[in-house]
């Protein structure tokens, strides 16, 4: 069994981005700029935003975080987003999720210009992804692909089972892996799937993104499978100073011995999510500058 750490993969991505970004800044005199919108004070969201800010700092990207009280109105957010859409300094825009219930997440995300949509959630980008056209691809699925590539895990002809059908992970990773180039056979399972265990047990590669701590136990897994655990769940742990620990959707301790390779939590896919956000920010900046040049 091999543990698929995210760190070395993310480091390789950061190294490449540093080079690519230096070249970009030199030739355009423009520094990539990420705008982050954070609503409320959920500690997990705040810590994710902090990791994204640190990643920007490491690469020398400019960034601005727009913080709002929980009670912020939809109109306020929509007006900020349209200002950011129109601001030529801003290359990437992301709204940290989840948003409070009184806000219409879809409406807000769809307001972000597709060219600046570094999370890849806009319908234009989702459509292009499904069609196999160039597009901004959601960060976690992109991170999973990078990990598979780095660790030389063959996907062609393999049976990939995706558990979870979220817009952020399940749907896009499924849609990517059956494209030409990856050539996997993909099955998508979700909360209403019957005989889930029988299906997951067929997987050569099992990708789990359901947000249920330690849900996948050895009886869900084929001997020798590769496991990608996307879950990041806080569970109470009185033995830790913070009072909680992070666990995945997979019961790593019990499942790992049965696998060929498995991602840990923390330190697995999550690390890649942030690295790929930086990748998307630079890609958006490059595309934006090309277009600015053509118009000039």
Q: Which residues are catalytic?
A: 52, 96, 119
Of all residues in the shown chain, the one whose CB is closest to ligand BQF is: 270
The only residue of 270, 278, 279, 286 in contact with ligand BQF, by rule CB under 6 A:
270
Q: In what order do the strands lie in the sheet with 159-163?
A: 2-3, 261-262, 226-229, 205-208, 159-163, 185-189
Contacts of residue 102, Cβ cutoff 8 Å, sequence gap at least 6? none
* Secondary structure percentages of the chain, helix, strand, coil, to 5: 45, 15, 40
Instruction: Give the x/- contact pattern for ligand BQF in 145-174, rule: CB under 6 A.
Output: ------------------------------
Task: Return the biggest CA–CA distance within the chain.
Answer: 61
Closer residue to ligand BQF, CB minimum distance, 55 or 176: 55
The only residue of 188, 227, 228, 271 in contact with ligand BQF, by rule CB under 6 A:
271
Is residue 51 involved in binding ligand BQF (CB under 6 A)? Answer: yes
Is residue 66 involved in binding ligand BQF (CB under 6 A)? Answer: no
How far is residue 141 from each of residues 26, 229, 230, 281, measured CA to CA in Å?
Answer: 30, 12, 9, 16
Closer residue to ligand BQF, CB minimum distance, 43 or 127: 43
Task: Please give the Cα distance from 278 to 8 (Å, whole number).
Answer: 16
How do strand 62-68 and strand 33-39 relate by DSSP bridges?
parallel
Task: Please give the Cα distance from 192 to 231 (Å, whole number).
Answer: 19
Q: Which stretch binds ligand BQF (CB under 6 A): 25-33, 80-88, 99-107, 269-277?
A: 269-277
Is residue 88 involved in binding ligand BQF (CB under 6 A)? Answer: no
Closer residue to ligand BQF, CB minimum distance, 32 or 248: 248
Footprint on this chain of ligand BQF (rule: CB under 6 A): 48, 51, 96-97, 232, 265-268, 270-271, 273-274
């Amino acid at each position: 069994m091999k543990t698929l750490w995210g760190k070395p993969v993310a480091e390789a991505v950061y190294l490449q981005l540093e080079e690519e970004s230096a070249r970009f800044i030199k030739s355009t005199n423009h520094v990539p700029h990420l705008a982050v919108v954070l609503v409320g004070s959920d500690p997990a969201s705040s810590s994710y935003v902090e990791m994204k800010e640190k990643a920007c700092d490491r690469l020398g990207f400019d960034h601005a975080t727009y913080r709002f009280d929980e009670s912020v109105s939809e109109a306020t957010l929509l007006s900020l987003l349209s200002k950011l859409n129109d601001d030529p300094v801003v290359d990437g825009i992301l709204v940290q999720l989840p948003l409070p219930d009184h806000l219409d997440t879809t409406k807000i995300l769809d307001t972000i210009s597709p060219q600046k949509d570094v999370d890849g959630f806009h319908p234009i980008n989702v459509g292009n992804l499904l069609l196999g056209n160039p597009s901004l691809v959601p960060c976690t699925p992109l991170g999973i692909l990078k990990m598979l590539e780095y660790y030389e895990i063959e996907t062609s002809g393999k049976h990939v089972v995706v558990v979870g059908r979220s817009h952020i992970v399940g749907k896009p990773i499924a849609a990517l892996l059956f494209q030409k180039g990856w050539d996997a056979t993909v099955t998508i399972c979700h909360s209403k799937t019957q005989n889930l265990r029988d299906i997951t047990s067929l997987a050569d590669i099992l990708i789990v993104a359901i947000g249920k701590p330690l849900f996948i136990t050895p009886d869900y897994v084929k001997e020798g499978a590769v496991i990608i655990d996307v879950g990041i769940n806080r569970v109470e742990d009185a033995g830790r100073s913070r009072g909680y620990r992070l666990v995945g959707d997979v019961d790593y301790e019990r499942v790992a011995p049965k696998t060929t390779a498995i991602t840990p939590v923390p330190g697995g896919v999550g690390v890649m999510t942030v690295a790929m956000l930086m990748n998307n920010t630079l890609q958006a900046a490059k595309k934006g500058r090309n277009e600015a040049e053509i118009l000039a």
